Amino acid sequence: MKPKHQRLIFIGVSVVLLCISVIVTLRAFRDNLVFFYSPSDIATHAPDAGKNVRVGGLVEDVKHIDADAIEFAITDGKAKVSVSYKGLVPNLFREGQGVVAEGVFDGGHLQAKTILAKHDERYMPRDVVDALKRSGRWKEGEK
């Protein structure tokens, strides 16, 4: 076989292996992606049941079920999503504060695995700020 043909075969095999590795990598990412939603996004286009999601907004209606279980609502001023969580909540978690809850969505209710509260008076995740701005609930001086 001529060296020219050997190079073409090598390049062809390399391209095929590269394509296979890209496909395998993209499938792995698809299984691990977690999308951010605002309560209004969920009200208009609810994600599939059993899907991992992040929901962000302001905390409302906190109910303590027992020592380490709570139920609350996340709102952006237009819609609400009910959330249940079992575990220790951050110290800054309270009504009226910004929060991002990550967990499994099951048709109108979020079973949260992680709760992230804003860590000081000036920080709020960009996705939550954008969702609050779209809903008209954001006040520009609050950052």
Parent domain of 114: 35-142
> In angstroms, how far is CA 130 from the centroid of its own chain?
14
Give the chain's domain count.
Answer: 2
133 forms beta bridges with: none
Beta-carbon contacts of 47 under 8 Å, excluding residues fewer than 6 positions away, are: 35, 37, 53, 105
Tokens of 117: 């509260």
Q: Are residues 120 and 82 in the same domain?
A: yes
pLDDT tens sequence across 9-59: 999 999 999 999 999 988 888 766 777 888 888 888 888 888 888 898 889
Q: Which residue has the tokens 């237009």?
A: 78
Q: Are residues 57 and 104 in the same domain?
A: yes
Closest-CA residue to 127 (of 101, 95, 96, 90): 101
Q: Are residues 67 and 128 in the same domain?
A: yes
Distance CA 123, CA 121 (A): 6
Q: Are residues 16 and 62 in the same domain?
A: no
Q: Are residues 28 and 84 in the same domain?
A: no
Bridge-based pairing state of the strands 51-66 and 35-37: parallel
Q: Are residues 113 and 125 in the same domain?
A: yes
The pTM for the full model equals 0.65
Distance CA 83, CA 68 (A): 14
Q: Are residues 28 and 61 in the same domain?
A: no
Q: Are residues 22 and 52 in the same domain?
A: no
> Which CATH number does the domain housing residue 97 bear?
2.40.50.140
Three-class secondary structure of residue 83 per DSSP:
strand
Residue 139, pLDDT above cutoff 70? no
Q: Are residues 21 and 42 in the same domain?
A: no
